[in-house]
Structure 1
Amino acid sequence: MTELPDEIFRKWIHSFEEDTNGITVYRPVEYDFPLARGRGGIEFRPDGAFISWEIGPTDATRGINGHWKIEGSGRVSVSFEESTRPSTVIEILQCDSEVLKVRKLPESS
Structure 2
Amino acid sequence: MERDQVSGRWVHVHEEDTDDQMVFRPAGTPLPPARGRMAFDLRPDGTFAESGLGAADAPEEATGTWAVDGDTVRLSAGAAQGVPRELRVVTADAERLVVRRGGAG
Q: With structure 2 as the length reference, what TM-score do the two structures score? A: 0.77
The letter of the residue matching 2:86 is V
Unaligned regions of 5+ residues in structure 2, if any?
none
**CA drift at 1:50:** 1.8
Give the secondary-structure state (helix, strand or coil) at the position aligned to 1:68: strand
How far the C-alpha of 1:89 sits from its partner, in A, is 1.9
Could you tell me the TM-score, scaled by structure 1's length? 0.75
Aligned to 1:41: 39
CA RMSD of aligned residues (A): 2.3
**Number of aligned residue pairs:** 99
Matches within 5 A, 1:19-98: 19-56=17-54, 57=56, 61-71=59-69, 73-80=70-77, 88-98=85-95
Structure 1 residue runs of 5 or longer lacking an equivalent are none
Residue of structure 2 equivalent to 1:15: 13
Post-superposition offset of 1:36: 1.3
Tell me, yes or no, if the aligned pair for 2:38 and 2:53 is still in contact at 8 Å: yes
- Post-superposition offset of 1:58: 6.1
* Greater Cα radius of gyration, structure 1 or 2: 1
